[in-house]
Chains A and B, each alone.
Chain A
Amino acid sequence: MKKVLMVEDDPDQVFMYTEAFKVADSDFEVIVAKDGEEGIKKAKEENPDVVVLDILMNGTSGIDVLEEIKKDPKTKKIPVLVFTNLVQEHIKKKVKELGAEEFIVKTDIVPNDIVKKVEKIVNRH
């Protein structure tokens, strides 16, 4: 069973995406981190196969989390899928620079497709 770490502070979204993974009969276990701090911790402890990362969160932002993951040799190989409702180009550029695998706008994609996207990324690696 593969692990997807979802870093997201909105419980409603966490609920929706977790259910999507469940219903898709995917080979994924969803680990949830409800803020950035927890995200960094879990990325190191759980050694997930992929990280789905929100940007705008209380306290530590997604950018900080991404930086931290890519800095640590232990975690830097983990593909990170940035999943946010921030649409500004400079943020997109920034996360790409920091080594994010994908930059996806939440409203552009439905939960089923995000599951497929995550599977694809994991298979690629």
Chain B
Amino acid sequence: MDIKITILIISLIYFIIGGIVYSRNRKNLANISLAFFTYSTALWAFSFYFYEHPYFLSSFIWIKIVYFFVFFIIFSLFYLSSVFPYKSSYSLSLPILIYCLWSLPNIYLLFFTNLWIKDVVFQPSGYRTILGPLYFSPNILWSVFTAWAFYNLIKKHFKTKGVNNLQSRYAFLGIFLFVIPAVIVDAVLPLLTGNSGYFWLSPIFSFFFIGCTTYAIIRYRLMDIRIVIKKSAVYLISFSLVSGLALLIMFTVKEYTSFSTMVFGVGVVILSLLIFDPVKAFFQKLADKLMFREVYTYQEAIKTLGSEVTRLIKLDKIIDLVVDTIKKTMRLDRAGILLFSLKTSSFQVAKVIGFNQANGISLVRDNFLTLYLEKTKNLIVLEELDFLIRDAASQEEKANFEKLKVNMKRIEASLCLPLISKNKLQGIIVLGAKVSGDAYTREDLDLLETLANQASVAIENAIQYEEIQDLTGNLQQKVDEQVEEIRKKNIHLKKLLKMKGEFLDIASHQLRTPVSVILGTISMFKDRSVLRMPEETREKFVDNIYKKALKLRSIIEDILTASEMDAINFEERLNFEPTQIEDITSEVYQDNISDAEKSGLTLTYHKPDKKLPLVSIDRNYVKEALTNIVTNAIQYTEEKGKVIITTQEKGGSVIIKVQDTGIGIPKNEIENLFKKFSRASNAVNMHTDGSGLGLFIVKKIIDSHPGTKIFLESEEGKGTSFSLSFPIIK
């Protein structure tokens, strides 16, 4: 099969590419001019095929048509260079006019004279064009405008930044790979050697330009051109080496052995396939060392960073490493990480370098940007938004991209990389632009996406680790607190238990004492020994039995009252009624006067000057409380002492005061005095008939009366004074 069929195939491919480019954006001048260029090139290649395989017209005519299309190719190339990546500032009318005016005489030369193309002759190698003396004329026009196109692209390359820069670089690469070889085979070789046998290669070279430019126009996430070159070089060298080796083996085998060529051919192909990968790997390594080392180094650094972060467990370390490494290795002006904080329900700056924090990086809330990132889970590049806006399918989509652009500009971000964990946006890696002005290439973005995935996992782990640490810390603290609480309760319980033990000791003693008298006395009645005693002794015995029985009853009542008061609903059992306090105080006074006298004390009652107002109390319980206070005062006051009861109205209350000249209560024990089973330490050695429950009962009764208070003043050795204050009924 004739190798030149590739020309036809290429021309068909061009028709398709031209259609794609045009349909991508029918209004963009760059798309239009590239489509025009592609169609022209397709027609040019098409005609070229027919020049080689004349059909319908002779080769002589076909070559003229071939050259005719070159006018369009060069024109659209020039036009493209003026509008891509953006439209040049100068007016295009003059250059177009010059081009047209210059073309017309040349077209005349082409079609109506032999001065450009003299003849076409058929040779064994194929058709050959014999050129005329004015062949240089159109070449000057074309060279001038091609150079102009070169110049346009070079200028734009140096003037632009980011994606436009990368686009112009692609276009430049394409034009270079197309024009230089084409000039060699179409002009240099024919002019120098008169050999035009390689003309057919130029349509193939045009593929470089169309390929590169189409890629730059229709894709906006472009590969790093250095990597493209590197990869192409590696593949080309590896392929040439392996296929060269294969051909050499085939040739050698054919020459020196009688083996079947067919069998060897298959073997060699298999061998080639097997060694291709190792060879490629070798050249890849070599290329990494020799070509564009900085690209390789930073890619490696980002890759290493990815695996490094997954080994870290501390959140701040991960964030430091990610931000610092990305910023340094990619040579960015800014880099930072925002993390979603559950506490504030907003994105908080975890770390930023180079951002002006006041400019909004710290103001990211749940906005369109974060919602978009969470929904799409894709990174956003600010520059790409322009393309997305341009190519948006609907007005709504367009508006959304505009909104994203505004959001990103507000936080000074060139790139937002979502950190997704469990389908939630956990944070954003926010990056600025490259210091060099270069765009983020596809490789960069792929690397960053991989890195972001690894970083999200690492950050999620770190956050969980921190939570667990916090939890452990809190847990320890709580355990400590509870241990302390239990320890305190334990001490309290021990104290209570000790008090209860002491109470039981005292109570058992107090219960036994009357019992021993009752029992002992009755035993004397029983064994009739009393019969030998005088009458008054017997009477005294009966008195004593009666008195001790009463004491026994009072102690039992105290114990029962105290346990009754421990019941939860004690307050509900009280029966409040308006009462004249004086009634209670005089009763208690009357009840205790004889006991006081027996103990050698003076019990005095100071009646109020006027009638006291009524108070709302449970009469029986308050009487019990007062009785307890008065008997206590009598018990703890030595002979010749005094106990004075007074009642008075004071500041909206009725106050009962019981004052004694007894042993007093040590200051530090006043607090504990109202607790159950409590006795002041200096009362231990005092023989009393009390149950030890008296003041506990008093306090309970007073506390159950709303607004009622108890006051206690005491000085050791001098005496004690208890005051009960009852609010007057209004």
Give chain A's interface residues, CB within 8 Å of chain B. 9-10, 12-13, 15-17, 19-20, 22-24, 56-61, 84-88, 105-107, 110-112
Contact = CB atoms under 8 A, between A and B. Distances in A.
Contact of A16 (B509, B541, B547): B541
Contacts of A84: 509
Contacts of A17: 520
B320 interface: no
A112 to B, nearest CB: 6
A60 B687 CA distance: 10
27 contacts: A9-B687, A10-B687, A12-B548, A13-B520, A16-B520, A16-B521, A16-B544, A19-B541, A20-B520, A22-B533, A23-B524, A23-B532, A56-B509, A57-B687, A59-B685, A59-B686, A60-B685, A85-B508, A85-B513, A86-B509, A87-B509, A105-B512, A107-B515, A107-B516, A107-B519, A110-B520, A112-B529
Nearest to B512: A85
B527 interface: yes
Given A12-B548, A57-B687, A86-B509, A19 B524 contact: yes
Nearest to A113: B523
Given A9-B687, A12-B547, A16-B521, A106 B540 contact: no
Contacts, number: 79
B517 interface: yes
Nearest to A57: B687
Interface residues of B, number: 27
Contacts of A61: 685
Interface of B: 505, 508-509, 512-513, 515-517, 519-521, 523-524, 527, 529-530, 532-533, 537, 540-541, 544, 547-548, 685-687
Given A12-B517, A85-B513, A110-B519, A19 B533 contact: yes
B527 A106 contact: no
A112 B516 contact: no
Contacts of B527: 112
Nearest to A106: B516
Contacts of A110: 519-520, 523-524
Which of the listed residues A84, A105, A106 has the most CB atoms from chain B within 10 Å of its own CB? A106
Contacts of B505: 86, 88
Contacts of A60: 685
A64 to B, nearest CB: 9
B523 A111 contact: yes
Given A13-B520, A16-B520, A87-B509, 8 more contacts: A9-B687, A23-B524, A105-B512, A107-B512, A107-B515, A111-B524, A112-B523, A112-B529
A88 B502 CA distance: 10
A19 B515 CA distance: 18
Contacts of A58: 685-687
A23 to B, nearest CB: 5
Given A56-B509, A106-B512, A111-B520, A23 B529 contact: yes
